[in-house]
Structure 1
Amino acid sequence: MAKVHVLMVPFPAQGHVTPLMELSHRLVDHGFEVIFVNTETHHARVLSALPASGTAVLGGIHLASIPDGLASDDERRDLSKLVDSCYRHMPEHLERLVADMEAAGRPKVKWLVGDLNLGVCFEVAKKLGVRVASFWPSSAACLAILLSVPKLVEKGLVNEQGVPALPWDAAAPGVADAMDGQQWRATRTPALFQAVTRFDKFKNLAEVIICNSFQDIEAGALKLFSDILPIGPLFADRELQKPVGHFLPEDECCIRWLDAQPDRSVVYVAFGSMVVFDPCQFVELAEGLELTGRPFLWVVRPDFTAGLSMAWFDEFRKRVADTGLILSWCSQQQVLAHRTAACFVSHCGWNSTMEGLRNGVPFMCWPHLFDQFLDGSYITNVWRTGVAVSPNADGIVAKEELRSKVDQVVGDAEIKERAWLLKEAACGYVSEGGSSYKNFQKLVNQLGE
C-alpha cells in the first residue's frame, strides 16, 4: 500500500517549527511520508544545525522551502511585518511548490497539516483538493481566547482595533481565568489583530484541529472547545535523539557536564529563540546566577543581547567556570530529562512549558512576549509548579530577586511534589490507553483514510 504524503507547514519561528517536527517524526513512525516546508531563511538554518550525517537522520521527513516575501536582510523579529508578508506571499509560493512536486512526478499530497497561525495556506490546500488538519502550537486556553475574538468584536466587548472595552475576565468569562492582559496588548497591531480575527474562519477549513496539550492541565479550555484534539505532550522519540528543526547547532558537551553534577542540583536557564535582554538586565541575570552558588547551565544565543561589554562577560565566565556552563544552544528536552535538573528559569513559551512539565521540573517564570504570560500564569496560579519573578520599579529583575526565587523554587517541597505529579500524569496521557495516545491514533487513522 502506497504511503500517504503529508505537507507540514509551520509558522516561521522556532517555537512553531519544533512541535511540528516532533509530530512529523511520529507520523513517519506510523508509515507516512512528510514534506516539511520552512521559509527559505529558516530552511537554511535548520540544514546548518543538523548533525554531520545531515538529512539522513530525518528518515521519511523531506525538507523543502518557500520564500516568506521579505528581503534577506529584513528584520524577522518584527512579528507584525513578518505576519503581513507571510500572509501576502506564502500562499502563492506554497501552491507553486505543490505544482512543481507533482510536475516532477512526486506522489500527490493528500493532507496539509498546517499551523493555524498560517491558516491562509489552508485556502490553498482546499483549492488544490488537499485535505487540511490544523495544528495549534500554544495552549488550548490561548486558542480558545483567540477564537472568541470575532464574537467579542460583534458584541462590542472588543473594538475593531482590538482594544477591550472591559477587563478580560468580564469580556471573556470562562476562557480568561489564566489570561494576562499583556498577551492581548501584544496582538494589537493591525497585521496581528487582523490575522487573529481570521482564525475562526481558518479553523473551519480544517477537518480536525490538534494541539500539544493534555486533558488534566487544560480541562476548562478543552471543555469549552471540545473539538480541539489534545495529543501532547509531544516528543519526537523517547530517547530524545531525533533532530527537531533547531535553528542553531546543539552543543553536545552539556550532557557530559550534567553527568558530573549531583542529582537535582542544576539551575537550567533558557529564554527560547526570540527574547532579547538589554545589557543591564543581562548583567543582573548573570550575577544573580552567580549569587545562587548553585551549578547552572545557561543558554546564551549569539543574539541574546547587544551592547554588552565582552571584557566583562569574559571575566564573568572565568569567575563561574567551576560552577556554570554557558553555551549558545542545546537539546532542551535532554537537559530537562536529566537527573540533575532542579529548576527551569524560563520565558514560559509553550514548548518549554510542556517540556518542563513532562519532566517534572519546577519553574522560575520570566515571561516576555505574547502567550508566555498566560503560560506563566498557568504555572504559578493554576498548576502551582513554580514562582514568578518580580521586576523592580525600573522594570529590572534584580540579581537578589533571582537568587531569592531560585532558592524558593528549589527549596519548596510542595512545588516539587506537584511538578512530579504532573509529570506522572503527562506520561500516563501519552502511554497506551491514555487520552492523548488515543487522540493521536485517531489522527493517524484519519490521515490514513
Structure 2
Amino acid sequence: MTSIPRPPHAVVVPFPSQGHVNPLMHFAKLLAARGFFVTFINTDWMEQRIFKTPNDSAAVSNQLQEQGLQIRFLALPDGLPPDHGRVQAIYEYFQATQKLGPAMVRLLQSTANEAPPITCIVSSCFMSCTHQLATSLVLPRVVFWTFCTSAAIVFANCRMLLEKGYIPINVKEARRAENLITCLPGMIPPLRQTDLPTAFRVEDTADSTFQLMMYESEIQNKADYVLINAFEELEGPEAAEGLSKGYPALPIGPVFLPDFLQATKSSVSVATSLWEEDLDCLQWLQTKAPSSVLYVSFGSIVVMSMEQLHELALGLEASEQPFLWVLRPDISEGKATVLPEGFRERIGERGRIVQWAPQLKVLSHPSVGGFLTHNGWNSTLESISLGVPMIGWPLWAEQFLNGRFCKEIWRIGMDFESRVEDENALVSREEVEKVVRAMMEGPQGKELRKNVARLKEAATKAVMPGGSSYRNLDKFTSDMTARANSQFE
C-alpha cells in the first residue's frame, strides 16, 4: 500500500521586529496557500505584542485552518528582561537573538509530533541563529531578505567592501570624494559610500556593532536558498544573481500584495502591528478630495528630537495641505510628545494625528496623494505597490539607499536638500512647507505620480499568475515539495 506524502513543512523565523515579522507573516500565508504546513516562531515578547493574549495565536491558527491554511504559532523567551528596550538597544538585541538556536532546536523537537517532518528553515536576514538550527536538524536554510535586492547585495558583501576600503565610512570625507562603488555583484547602479548602511559609519573596525554586522553577513552567505521581498522589474532580473553563491536567489515580492489584492470579508487577517491601529482615520480620509492627503509616518523604530518634530508640525501647518500623521507615543526620543502650542486647534479637520494607522488601507485610499516616509523597505515597497509617490526622510540602516533609488533611479520620490548635504541637519519648517507643496500641488508631484503608477502596475503583474514573482515562488515551492516527497521514498 502506497503511503500518502505529508505536506512540506516550513519553519519560518523572523527577526523579532515589526519590519521583519510583517513580510514573513505574509510569506507564511503564501506558503500555506500552496499546501505547506508552516510553523511560525516568534519570541515571547513579540508574540505578546502581536496577539495581546495567550489564546489569540491559537484562535488565529484555528481560523486559518478553517480556510485550509495550516499555520501554527510557537514562541520562546529571548533571554532579555521585560523592560529591555529591544530594538532601541539594537546591539544587545542582536546578541540575544544570536543565542536562540539551541532553544529553537528544543522547541521544535518537543513539538515534533504535532506537525509533519520539517522540510526547510526560512529566516529573515540577521537571524544567524537559524544557521545553527538548520545544521543541528540537518535541513536546508533559506534566507529571506526583507530589503530591496541592491541593499541585500550590500549587506551580503561586507567583507569585500571592507577589503576595498569602502567601509568603515567617514561620512564627511565620503561626501567630498563621492567615490562610486562599482565592484558589487549584480547589475545594480553604482553606489555612493553614503548609500551604505549606517552600521558601517564607525571610526574603528573593532566597533561591536560593526563586527556584529560582519558576522551576520558571513552567516547569511552560508544559505542554501535565498528569497527577496522585491520584484524583478524594479531592479532587473540580473540583480538577484548578485546574491547567489551557487544557490538559487529569487525575488518573490511584494509578498503582502497577493493577499491584499484578493482580500475578502471571509479571509483571516493576522494582525502583526505592535500598536493598535486607528481605523477611524479611514472615515476621515473619505471626506478628502482624491490625491489631496499627505500621509506621514516614520515606521515602528525611528525617533526624532522634539525640536525636529516641532519644525515638521509647523511646516505641515504652513503647507495648507491635508495630512494624516502617525505620531507614535515613543517617537520623541522616549519622551512624551508635545506639539507646538495651539497646533491641533489651528489645523482643525485639515489634519489628523493618530498613534498608528492601517498603512496598507491608508496608502490604497484614493484621497492619499503622497507619503512622507523614513524609506524603510516595507513602507517603500508598499508605497510603490499601491501607487503613492514619496518624500524621503531616511534616518538609519539601509534607508539612505532606498531614498536615493526612489529619487534618482526609479524617479518616484523627492527629498530635502538640507538632509542631502547633512543627514543630521534640522529640516526647517520652511523647507517642509516647500517640499510638501511641490509634492501635493506642483508639476513634479504629478510626474512622480505617473511614474509610480507604472511601477504599481508592474508590481501587480509580478505577483499574479504568470508574473515574475509568482513564477519564482512556484519554483521555490516546487523545489521544497520535491525535497519533502524524497523524505518518504
TM-score over 0.5 (shorter chain):
yes
Distance change >3 Å, CA 322–CA 171, structure 1 → 2: closer
2:479 to 432, 446, 449: 446
Stretch of structure 1 that moved more, 33-42 or 389-398: 389-398
Tell me if 1:107 matches 2:116. yes
Q: Is the 8 A contact 1:112 1:130 kept in 2?
A: yes
The Cα shift of 1:11 comes to: 0.9
Q: Return the alpha-carbon distance in structure 2 between the equivalents of residues 213 and 107 of structure 1.
A: 30
Give the aligned partner of residue 20 of structure 2.
16
Partner residue, 2:459:
426
- How far is 1:150 from its partner? 2.1
* Structure 1 Cα separation of the partners of residues 21 and 279 of structure 2: 21
Identity rate, percent: 30
Please give the residue correspondences for 1:283-432 in structure 2 after superposition, counting only pairs within 5 Å.
Answer: 283-305=310-332, 306-307=334-335, 310=338, 312=339, 315-391=342-418, 395-410=425-440, 411=442, 412=444, 413-432=446-465
For structure 2, the 5+ residue unaligned runs are 483-489
Q: 1:279 touches 1:308 (CA, 8 Å); kept in 2?
A: no
| CA distance in 2: counterparts of 1:418 and 1:148, whole angstroms | 31
Q: Write the distance in 1 (CA, Å) between the matches of 2:31 and 2:179.
A: 39
Select the residue among 31, 35, 42 that pairs with 2:39.
Answer: 35
- What is the CA-CA distance between 1:6 and the residue it aligns to? 1.6
Q: Could you say which residue in structure 2 is the equivalent of 1:206? A: 223
1:67 is matched with 77
- Asked if 2 retains the 8 angstrom alpha-carbon contact of 1:299 and 1:330, the reply is yes
Aligned partners of 1:111 and 1:133 also within 8 Å? yes
Q: Against the structure 1 CA distance between its residues 295 and 163, is the aligned structure 2 distance closer, same or farther, given a 3 Å change threshold? A: closer
Residues matched between the structures, number: 444
Contact 1:266 1:294 in 2 (8 A): yes
CA distance in structure 1 between the aligned counterparts of 2:316 and 2:466, rounded to whole angstroms: 42
2:127 corresponds to: 118
Residues of 2 paired with 1:324 and 1:428: CA distance?
A: 35
Equivalence map 1:82-101=2 (5 Å): 82-87=93-98, 89-101=99-111
Alignment deviations for residues 142-163 of structure 1 (CA, whole Å, 9 cap, x no partner): 121222222344x45357x788
Change over 3 Å in CA distance of 1:57–1:409 after alignment to 2: farther
Distance 1:178 1:207, change over 3 A: same
Q: Alpha carbons of 1:18 and 1:180: their partners in 2 closer, same or farther (altered >3 Å)?
A: farther
TM-score, normalization by structure 1: 0.90
Aligned to 1:238: 261
User: CA, structure 1 residues 256+99, in 2 after alignment: closer, same or farther (shift >3 Å)?
Assistant: same
Residue equivalent to 1:81: 92
Question: CA 1:182/1:278 → structure 2, altered by over 3 Å: closer, same or farther?
Answer: farther
Deviation at 1:243, TM superposition (A): 2.7
Label 1:388 to 1:170 Cα distance change in 2 as closer, same or farther (>3 A): closer
The verdict on how the C-alpha distance between 1:421 and 1:149 changes in structure 2, with shifts beyond 3 A counting, is same
Correspondence list, 1:113-262, <5 A: 113-153=122-162, 155-157=163-165, 169-170=179-180, 172-174=182-184, 177-179=190-192, 181=194, 183-187=196-200, 188=202, 190-199=207-216, 201-219=218-236, 221-225=239-243, 227-235=248-256, 236-239=259-262, 242-262=269-289
Q: For 2:475, what is the secondary structure of its paired residue?
A: helix
Residues 345 and 363 of structure 1 are in contact (CA less than 8 Å); yes or no, is this contact kept in structure 2? yes
Residues 169 and 177 of structure 1 are in contact (CA less than 8 Å); yes or no, is this contact kept in structure 2? no
In structure 2, give the amino acid aligned to 1:238.
Answer: L
Structure 1 runs of 4+ off > 6 angstroms?
161-168
After superposition, the Cα gap between the structure-2 partners of 1:182 and 1:204, relative to the gap in structure 1 and judged at 3 Å, is closer
| CA pair 40-25 structure 1, distance change in 2 beyond 3 A | same
Matches of 2:463 and 2:215 in 1, distance apart?
Answer: 32
Contact 2:370 / 2:390 at 8 angstroms: preserved in 1? yes
CA deviations 1:225-279 (Å, max 9, x no partner) are: 4542101112144255723521112221122222222111110011000011111
Partners of 1:56 and 1:368 in 2: CA distance: 40
Q: Which amino acid aligns with 2:38?
A: V
**C-alpha displacement of 1:361:** 0.5
Aligned AA for 1:80? Y
CA shift, 1:63, in A, is: 2.0
Determine the C-alpha separation between the residues in 2 that align with 1:406 and 1:247. 29
Letter in 1 for 2:14: P
Quote how far apart the aligned CAs of 1:435 are: 0.9
Q: Judge conservation of contact 1:5–1:111 (CA < 8 Å) in 2.
A: yes
- Give the drift of 1:304: 1.3
The residue that corresponds to 1:269 in the other structure is: 296
SS at match of 1:322: helix
- Encode CA deviations 1:25-45: one digit per residue, 9 max, x unaligned: 111211222221112211110
| Range that drifts further, 93-102 or 185-194 | 185-194
- 1: CA distance between counterparts of 2:189 and 2:106? 41
**What is the CA RMSD across the aligned residues, in angstroms?**
2.8
Which stretches in structure 1 are left out of the alignment for 5+ residues? none
Distance 2:345 2:181 in 1: 52
Query: Which residue number corresponds to residue 485 of structure 2?
Result: none
Indicate if the aligned counterparts of 2:60 and 2:270 stay in contact, CA closer than 8 A.
Answer: no
**CA distance, structure 2, for counterparts of residue 74 and residue 136 of structure 1:** 26
Deviation of 1:321 after TM superposition, in Å, equals 2.9
